[in-house]
Amino acid sequence: MRFAVPVTEAKVADHFGHCTHFALFDVDEATKAIVKKEVIPSPGHQPGFLPAWLAEEGVSVVIASGMGSRARALFEENRIKVVVGVLGVDPEKVVLDYIKGELATGDNICDH
C-alpha cells in the first residue's frame, strides 16, 4: 500500500494543493511497517492534476491537514482514499499512526 502526505518544510502541509513536496511511503500491510520512503517535489497546484498524478504513482491513501471538496471527489474517482484533518506534523508518524489505527484528526482546515 502506498501513502502520500503533502509536506512543506518537512512537516505535514496545512493545505494539500499548496505543498512544496510529497512524502511517499510504501507500507507492508502484513507487518504494518514502512518499507520505503521518498520525498518528491510537487508538480504544482493545477486543478484536477494531482489526483491523477498520484494515482499514476500508485498511491492508495492520501493523508492531509486540509483539502477542498472538489479535490476529495477527484481522489475518490481515482480510487484513492482521503484522510483530512490530520493534527500531526511528522509525515512518517502520521502514516504509522494511521496504519496502527491511532491517527488523531480534527476538522478539515480547508474552506473551499
pTM for this prediction: 0.92
Whether the CB-CB separation of 86 and 12 falls below 8 Å is answered with yes
What are 80's three cell numbers?
A: 484513492
Q: What structural domains does the chain harbor? A: 2-62+69-85 (3.30.420.130)
Among all chains, which residue has been given the C-alpha cell 512543506? 8
Rounded-to-integer distance, Cα 95 and Cα 61, Å: 10
Q: pLDDT over 70 for what percent of the chain?
A: 98
Per residue in 15-52, pLDDT (tens digit) is 888 899 999 999 998 999 999 999 999 998 787 889 99
pLDDT averaged over the chain? 91
Per residue in 60-89, pLDDT (tens digit) is 999 999 998 888 999 999 999 999 999 878
**If we measure between CA atoms, which residue out of 29, 28, 8, 26 comes closest to residue 17?**
8
